[in-house]
Amino acid sequence: MDFVRTCFGTPVPRVLAWEASSDNPVGSEYIIMEKCPGNDLSELMDEAARSDKVVSGLAKLQRDLASIKFSQFGSLYYKEDVDEELQARPLYAPGIPEDECSQRFRIGPSVERLFYRGGHAGLRIDRGPCTFIQFLGFSRCLIQDFSGYDVRSYVEAAAKSEVEWIRAFSDSPSALIQDGAHHPADYHLHRLQQWLRLIPAVLPTQSELCAPVLNHPDLSGGNVMLFVQNEEPMISGIIDWQGATVRPLFDVSVPRFLDATPDDLYNLKSNHGSSSSADGAEEPATFLVDSLGQLALAHRYIHTLSAFNSTLCDVMCSSHLGLLRDTKHCSCHSWSDGLPIFEDHMMSFCDMYGGEVPAHPDYPTCPISFDESERSRQATDYEVHHKEAMLENLCRRYLIARGILLQPDGGIAVNDFENAQRHVAKVYEIGTRKLSEEEKRKIEAAWPFRQGKFSLLLDSCL
C-alpha cells in the first residue's frame, strides 16, 4: 500500500500499526488501518456504471499497476526486510529509471495465499522470487530474445506446491473431506505431472506479456470503496492488498467486480451496439446502464482500459491467456476443488493447441493427450461439479431477486446473512419436495450450501 500510494497516488488507507509476527500481546499478526469512507462498489453498481470518475479511476488503477516493469516475480518488501542477496538486486527491470521507491523497496518471496494455506506454510517449496536471468550470469542481450524472466518456474511453482502438499497431507482428516479425495493421490500427481509437461508449450512467447508487473488479485466489489459527492460516486479507497504480487502481465486477472470471463470482455470490447455522444465519442447504449449496471460497468471499463493500455486489455480478453490463468489456479487447488475442472482445462488446451492457442516453436504438437476413456470418465466426474455450480447459480439468482447480493467468493453482508439462510433453505425445500429419497440424496450431495462442506475461504494458512 505504501508503494502504490507513493508511486501512483492510489487511494489506499494508511496503515496505523502492524505486526508481521505473532510474538506480541495480541498473539497474532495484524494490521490496523484507516477506515475508508462510503460503501463498497457492490452496493453502488448502477451508480458506478454511470460515473466517469469511477470507471476511469478503476481502469487507471490497472494501467498504473501494469506500467512499471520489475526485476523479478514475487512480492514487494521494504528493503531492510529481505536478505542481503535480494537487497543487492534492483527493484526495477533494466532501463527503468531509479526513484524513491527503488531505494526503499525490493522483491522477495511471494506472499500469495496458495503458498501458505492449509499446511503449505510448513513445506519447503519454491516461493520465489523467480529469478531474472541476468542474475544467473546470462548475457544481457538475451532479455530481448525472449523475456529475460524465468516465467516457466513462476507457473511451475504453483503446481509443484500442490504436489508437495498432496505428498504430505492427502491422507489427513481435513484432506479426506475435500473434493480431491474422490481420486487417489497418485492420480492427482499424474495429472499435475502432465500439466508440468504442458506448461512450456502454452506460455506466451511475446516478451511484453511476460514482463513482471504488480497485480491486486482480488479487485472484487467489496474491496473497492466509494463515496458519493454531489450525487456522483468517487473512489475513496482500494483495500485488501495483502495478497498483491508481482507476476507476469499475462497472469493479471480480470477484476472480480466485473464478474466476467475473457470471452465476455472480448464480446463487450468488440460490441458495435454503442451510441455516440455529442462530441462523437462512443459510449455504451443507455439501456445497458438503466437495466444491467454490472454489464454497463464492464462495457465502459473495458473500452476505457483499452484506451489506457491496449496490451493489458488484450490480455484480459484473450481466451488463451484466460485459460492459462485458470489452469494455473486449478493446478494449485486440484485437491481442494477436485480434478474434473483441472482436467477440463487441460483437455481444452489439447483441443485448442495450434489454433486459438498458438503452437510453440519448440512444441509443434501438444505435449500431452487424453484418450476417449479418460475423456468419458472426466465428463462423468465433471457433471457432478457442474450440477453443484448450477445449483449455486440458481440460489444466487433467487437471492439477487430478493435484494440480497452474494459475492462471487460466497461473501454476503452481515445484515443479510439470516435472510439468505432462510431463502436458501426455502429453495432446497421447494426443489426437493416431490423428489424420491434417491433423488434427494443426489441433490443433497451436490448442494452448494450443505453443512460440513469444505471451504477454501475458511481454510487456515497456519
Q: In terms of Cα–Cα distance, which of 123, 218, 213, 175 is closest to 333?
A: 175
Q: How far apart are CA 20 and CA 433, in angstroms?
A: 52
Give 453's pLDDT tier (boundaries 50, 70, 90): low
Name every residue whose Cβ is closer than 8 Å to that of residue 450 and which is 6 or more positions away in sequence. Answer: 444
Give 133's pLDDT tier (boundaries 50, 70, 90): very low
Helix (H, G, I), strand (E, B) or coil at 137: coil
One-letter amino acid of 404: I
> What pLDDT sits at residue 146?
36
Q: How far apart are CA 180 and CA 425, in angstroms?
A: 27
One-letter amino acid of 358: P
Average pLDDT estimate for 95-117: 94
In the structure grid, which three cell numbers stand for residue 238, read together?
482500494
Average pLDDT estimate for 439-453: 73
Lookup result for grid cell 431477486: 401
User: Over the stretch 336-354, which tens digit does the pLDDT of each residue have?
Assistant: 989 999 999 999 999 999 9
Q: In terms of Cα–Cα distance, which of 243, 253, 247, 74 is closest to 147?
A: 247
Q: Which residues pair with 274 in a beta bridge?
A: 284
Look up the pTM and report it. Answer: 0.83
Backbone angles phi, psi at 30, to 5 degrees: -160, 160
CB atoms under 10 Å from CB of 265, counted, come to 24
> What pLDDT sits at residue 197?
98
User: Over the stretch 242-283, which tens digit does the pLDDT of each residue have?
Assistant: 889 999 999 998 888 887 788 888 888 876 444 334 344 444
User: Over the stretch 25-51, which tens digit does the pLDDT of each residue have?
Assistant: 988 888 899 999 999 988 888 888 888
> What pLDDT sits at residue 407?
67
Give 90's pLDDT tier (boundaries 50, 70, 90): very high
Q: Which residues pair with 76 in a beta bridge?
A: 107
One-letter amino acid of 161: S
Lookup result for grid cell 499478526: 29
User: Over the stretch 371-430, which tens digit does the pLDDT of each residue have?
Assistant: 999 999 999 888 876 677 777 777 877 887 787 877 655 677 788 888 888 888 888 888
Q: What's the gap between Cα 261 and its chain centre?
A: 12
